[in-house]
């Protein structure tokens, strides 16, 4: 199964184990069922549950695929899916796991069985008992848990694999039968050690108790201890012990015998005969396949053109086996056919004929044959021109077409069997021609490039040969044996001979009119030289889980000046991309197909109290997994704030900066140095770092902005990072509260105080989170970034900046703190005041504080 040309599911027996496991455990859908269109096909249960019983078609005689909960990556649009459906194949289990099962003499009805997993810690007990199709309460349904292999003496009602259902165990209720207990989990043929137990369901009285012989099991014994507990021993060691309600007359340990033989040994135990049965894999003890809910593996069996044509002819319901003979087609292999709409049998047969240079001729039988066959008759010139009335002027008409009107190049488009059935194209050209036109033919067959090249060459040469048209010719009933598609030789009056292929015959009285085309037998032997160096995709890998980082920090570009936040995602080697989903409805907030780079800090970033210059002292070691970091130059970093930009910290406390040097010390682990710290208004976070903080590389690749409304700020919400193509429930919840840090104004700078008669005028400079311009012919531009300019100024009682004695407001970059207010707050005018200045946002209130003494 391919999605947009990429293999996403396979049951090919030649695929590797990882591909099979990835296919059977895919998260791209909940269930996929292929319906063959059988005459007794029932409606899909999920469709019937949705539309209602009696309102759901069964689509009998229509094959199809039902996919439940298909993940539509990138939205609600269905992906372009292509399927390879194998009609003739051998089916083998995907795992060599088997259970032994006794069958009675009656056929086992498929409808009597459902399916389920055996719970861990339980034991599965084989039985000939039947169970209803609905299964037991609490049972888990999934395809192909257990399938019974049919045999001649123990047939099943259907040759298709079917399943039966158990909740915890199946118990054999028949008298005088030995139960066969298997521990939960895979049981491989030849590996029954410590997993097979035997017990008796009926009291030991008279009669026979039969057990199967298992290779490798020696000295199986059964006894009852003093408390009445049944004990099964192997080579003297107890391998099973359990309470048995039935009464026993077995005393101590009784050796039941050796099982490495085919004989029926018997042992008398208190007048009870215990008989060893036959070997495993015989008609009395059938093998039950356990495939853990996965689909059997497919080994395609080559289908000949004879088989395919026979099937089409018989499906018409008009023909019996004696009505046609297509045995000539047994040498050709049909690799595949794509029919995307309801069509006629004739249309399909015409595809086969055109793709394999074959023909079907209707006579007493429908006979199959190939182009290039030998002629059936030679017609001399004097036998042509037959007429019941006036003689025909030209018994053998010959005309020449205009070469320039015919295509010089024929391109055949086909399904490339060597390249996952992707559309291929092969061309044939006529080199000696004045024509420049092209002809394109599409054929719905899976072919090799060489086969398609041969068709293109033949079509091209047919054009060249067809420049000379011959006929029609009239002959008498002497040539009644000539049929359509026959090759005949026509002899002209000058004794020249033309090899032609009959395309149409019209009978009128005693006259037969033959319409013909020139036929060159050699053109079907094209060398078909072309490139066949294609590689078919055979690997399926489960996509990796998505790792998500939600970043509520300063905006990185003007376009992000909103209440949103950033999301960054990456994953393992097979990560195709991810989405951020808002729970509980699963709405998609973003889609990311590039890998973000983030990780953790294994060392602590030291405090930095210096100005905004490069910190050439501090370093930090980061582990970014499969990500890669690179060094840059001082000039490049100063000229572009996006180069090697990073964030280090935790939610609510991020320091942004840039690094010059990334020194690789091991895979994914780097030492960063030459740090330009406190970028984007985060100088307040340059202290207080700890080990284990998160490292984010702030690059466009792998990062998206998630918009939000201001009314949603401060509310904890649940998100999931879901890998593209995987189900929503494959990801874990992540709680996150967006505080709208991106809307917070940066802290002002350069606070100054001017005193006049005890009054203090405080001034400062504002900053902007938007892009600024400080040089150039257009002058200085520092956008406000807010709807209105407003500030809040706290007056603290001392240099600890803990107790606020007064709050002032201003709409400009200055405010007056009067002498009277100082006296009220402190008892007298102050020589030094400690202030905190905030620029205000209409959406989130106060921005980052500037603390200063003035």
Residue ranges of the domains in the chain? 2-91, 98-290, 302-370, 377-525, 546-738, 749-853
Per the CB < 8 A criterion, the answer to whether 408 and 436 are in contact is yes
Please confirm whether the linkage preceding 220 is cis (ω < 30° from 0).
Answer: no
Query: pLDDT by residue (tens digit) across 293-311?
Result: 345 678 888 889 999 999 9
Please confirm whether the linkage preceding 584 is cis (ω < 30° from 0).
Answer: yes
Provide the whole-model pTM.
0.60
Report how far residue 561's alpha carbon sits from residue 770's, in angstroms, rounded to the nearest whole number.
8
Give the architecture (CATH level 2) of 749-853. Sandwich (2.60)
Pairing of strands 845-846, 814-817: unpaired
Give the DSSP per-residue string, 176-200: TBEEEEEESS---TT--TTTEEEEE
Long-range contacts from 241-245, C-beta under 8 angstroms, 24+ separation: 242/199, 244/199, 244/200
Report how far residue 257's alpha carbon sits from residue 210's, in angstroms, rounded to the nearest whole number.
12
User: Which tokens in the block code for residue 409?
Assistant: 């190049």
Percentage of the chain exceeding pLDDT 90 = 52
Give the DSSP per-residue string, 749-776: EEEEEEEETTEEEEEEE---SS--B-SS
3-class DSSP state of 292: coil
Per the CB < 8 A criterion, the answer to whether 483 and 361 are in contact is yes
Report how far residue 358's alpha carbon sits from residue 331's, in angstroms, rounded to the nearest whole number.
12
HEC string of 44-58? CHHHHHHHCCCCCCC
Burial of 602 (0-12, 13-18, 19+ CB in 10 A): middle
User: What integer pLDDT is reported at residue 254 of this predicted model?
Assistant: 31
User: What integer pLDDT is reported at residue 92 of this predicted model?
Assistant: 65
User: What integer pLDDT is reported at residue 73 of this predicted model?
Assistant: 65
3-class DSSP state of 465: helix
Q: Which regions of the chain are under pLDDT 70?
A: 73-76, 92-296
User: What integer pLDDT is reported at residue 187 of this predicted model?
Assistant: 28
C-alpha to C-alpha distances, 720 to 556, 580, 583, 743, nearest whole angstrom = 24, 6, 7, 24
Per the CB < 8 A criterion, the answer to whether 339 and 315 are in contact is no
Report how far residue 118's alpha carbon sits from residue 110's, in angstroms, rounded to the nearest whole number.
20
User: What integer pLDDT is reported at residue 166 of this predicted model?
Assistant: 28
Per the CB < 8 A criterion, the answer to whether 63 and 88 are in contact is no
User: What integer pLDDT is reported at residue 296 of this predicted model?
Assistant: 65
């Amino acid at each position: 199964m391919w999605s947009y040309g990429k293999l996403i599911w396979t049951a090919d027996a030649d695929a590797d184990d990882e591909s099979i496991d990835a296919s059977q455990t895919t998260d791209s859908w909940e269930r996929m069922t292929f319906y063959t269109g059988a005459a007794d096909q029932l409606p899909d249960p999920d469709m019937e549950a949705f539309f209602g019983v009696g309102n759901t078609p069964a689509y009998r005689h229509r094959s199809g695929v039902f996919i439940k909960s298909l993940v539509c990556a990138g939205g609600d649009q269905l992906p372009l899916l292509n399927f390879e459906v194998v009609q003739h194949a051998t089916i083998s289990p995907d795992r060599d796991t088997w259970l032994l099962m006794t069958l009675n003499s009656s056929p086992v009805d498929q409808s009597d069985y459902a399916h389920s997993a055996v719970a861990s810690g339980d034991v599965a007990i084989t039985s000939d008992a039947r169970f209803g199709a609905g299964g037991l309460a609490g049972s888990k349904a999934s395809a192909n848990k257990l399938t019974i292999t049919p045999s001649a003496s123990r047939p099943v009602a259907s040759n298709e694999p079917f399943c039966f259902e158990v909740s915890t165990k199946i118990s054999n209720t028949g008298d005088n039968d030995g139960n066969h207990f298997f521990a939960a989990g895979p049981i491989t043929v030849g590996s029954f050690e410590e997993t097979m137990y035997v017990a008796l369901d009926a009291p030991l009285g008279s009669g026979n108790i039969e057990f199967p012989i298992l290779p490798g099991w020696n000295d199986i014994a059964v006894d009852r201890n003093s408390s009445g507990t049944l004990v099964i021993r192997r080579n003297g060691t107890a391998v099973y012990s359990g309470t048995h309600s039935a009464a026993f007359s077995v005393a101590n340990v009784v050796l039941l015998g050796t099982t490495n033989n085919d004989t029926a040994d018997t042992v008398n135990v208190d007048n009870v005969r215990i008989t060893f049965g036959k070997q495993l894999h015989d008609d009395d003890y059938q093998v039950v396949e356990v495939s853990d809910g996965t689909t059997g593996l497919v080994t395609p069996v080559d289908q000949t053109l004879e088989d395919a044509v026979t099937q089409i002819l018989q499906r018409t319901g008009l023909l019996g086996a004696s009505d046609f003979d297509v045995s000539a087609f047994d040498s050709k292999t049909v690799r595949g056919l794509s029919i995307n709409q309801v069509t006629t049998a004739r249309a399909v047969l015409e595809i086969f004929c055109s793709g394999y240079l074959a023909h079907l001729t209707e006579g007493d039988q429908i006979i199959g044959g190939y182009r290039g066959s030998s002629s059936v008759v030679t017609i001399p010139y004097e036998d042509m021109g037959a007429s019941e009335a006036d003689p025909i002027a030209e018994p053998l008409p010959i005309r020449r077409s205009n070469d320039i009107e015919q295509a010089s190049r024929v391109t055949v488009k086909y399904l490339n069997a060597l390249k996952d059935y992707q559309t291929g194209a092969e061309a044939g050209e006529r080199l000696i021609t004045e024509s420049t036109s092209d002809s394109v033919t599409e054929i719905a067959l899976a072919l090799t490039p060489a086969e398609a090249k041969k068709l293109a060459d033949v079509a091209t040469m047919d054009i060249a040969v067809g420049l000379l048209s011959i006929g029609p010719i009239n002959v008498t009933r002497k040539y009644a044996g000539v049929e359509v598609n026959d090759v005949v030789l026509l002899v002209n009056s000058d004794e020249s001979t033309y090899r032609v292929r009959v395309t149409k015959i019209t009978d009128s009285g005693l006259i037969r009119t033959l319409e013909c085309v020139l036929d060159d037998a050699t053109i079907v032997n094209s060398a078909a030289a072309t490139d066949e160096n294609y590689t078919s995709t055979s690997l399926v890998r489960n996509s990796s889980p998505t790792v998500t980082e939600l970043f509520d920090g300063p905006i990185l570009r003007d376009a992000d000046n909103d209440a949103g936040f950033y999301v960054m995602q990456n994953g393992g080697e097979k990560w195709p991309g991810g989405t951020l989903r808002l729970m509980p409805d699963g709405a998609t907030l973003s889609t990311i197909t590039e890998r973000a780079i983030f990780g953790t800090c294994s060392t602590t970033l030291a405090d930095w109290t210096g100005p905004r210059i490069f910190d050439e002292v501090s370093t930090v070691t980061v582990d970014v997994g499969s990500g890669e970091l690179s060094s840059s130059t001082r000039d490049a970093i100063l000229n572009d704030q996006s180069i090697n930009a990073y964030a280090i910290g935790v939610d609510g406390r991020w320091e942004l900066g840039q690094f010059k040097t990334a020194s690789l010390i091991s895979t994914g682990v780097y030492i960063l140095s030459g740090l330009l710290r406190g970028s984007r208004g985060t100088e307040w976070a340059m202290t207080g770092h700890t080990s284990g903080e998160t490292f984010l590389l702030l690059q466009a690749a792998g990062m998206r902005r998630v918009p939000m409304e201001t009314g949603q700020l401060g509310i904890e919400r649940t998100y999931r990072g879901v890998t593209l193509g995987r189900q929503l429930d494959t990801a874990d919840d992540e709680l996150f509260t967006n505080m709208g840090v991106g809307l917070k104004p940066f802290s002002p700078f350069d606070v100054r105080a001017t005193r006049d008669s005890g009054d203090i005028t405080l001034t400062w400079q504002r900053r902007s989170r938007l892009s600024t311009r400080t040089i150039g012919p257009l002058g200085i531009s520092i956008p406000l970034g807010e709807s209105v300019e407003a500030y809040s100024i706290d007056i603290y009682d001392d240099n600890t900046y803990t107790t606020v004695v007064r709050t002032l407001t201003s709409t400009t970059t200055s405010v007056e703190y009067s002498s009277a207010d100082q006296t009220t707050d402190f008892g007298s005018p102050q020589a030094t005041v400690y202030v905190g200045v905030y620029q205000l946002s209409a959406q989130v209130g106060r921005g980052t504080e500037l603390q200063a003494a003035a």
